[in-house]
Amino acid sequence: MSGHKPYLPKGETCKEFTLFLDRDGVLNEPIVDDYARKPDDLILVDEVAESLRVLSHKFQRIVLVTNQQGVGKQVMSDVDLENVHLKLYKAMKKNNVNWFDVAFYAPYLKTNVHSWRKPQNGMLLKAKTYFSDIDWRKSIMVGDSPGDMLLADSLGLTKVRIENPQFTFDNQDFSFASIRAFVQSL
């Protein structure tokens, strides 16, 4: 789905946009071939709370969308994942940042095609049931993987890549070294 020229909004125009954020590699340091199974495993990227604070003031809404196949592999439980997310929540709260407008995770295995597992767009379609005014042409997907970019392509979102040396691809609209660098561009 295309038909619009991707761009990054500046200043007040951000308020018309929905921001979709991946977690691993964007908000926290990626773990190669493993998962943040407990809170101590989740290492937040530098200045993530401040970046989220700025983003929460700039955008109409922020939606977290994350694949978490560690749950599907049964190397961690839903409660383990909740505890990991609680660490992120506490970091945000400590810095007076509200939690995301809505957060979704897909516990499904990479080997199974499920509508919620990125690059499928089920999590984004579910977000639209919560917020019917989401306009895909005024939405941005920020992620670090090819799956994040394919997800954005499926609905025509602007694609923002956060660089991660684990992945080699070049189908993003914009690329930044970190979430902080992305915030500074707005």
Active site residue 22: yes
Token pair recorded at residue 129: 């049931």
Give me the sheet containing 158-162, strands edge to edge: 102-106, 61-67, 18-21, 139-143, 158-162, 174-176
Active site residue 173: no
Q: Which of 24, 80, 144, 148 is catalytic?
A: 24
In this structure, are residues 152 and 24 in contact, taking their beta carbons and an 8 Å threshold? no
CA-nearest of 85, 74, 83, 80 to 27 is 85
Q: Which of 22, 80, 144, 148 is catalytic?
A: 22
Q: Is 84 helix (H, G, I), strand (E, B) or coil?
A: helix
- Burial code (b: 16+ CB inside 10 Å, e: under 16) for 9-35 equals beeeebeebbbbbbbbbbbbebbeeeb
User: Where do we find the tokens 């042409």?
Assistant: 137
Beta strand pairing call for 139-143 and 102-106: unpaired
Q: Give the catalytic positions in this structure.
A: 22, 24
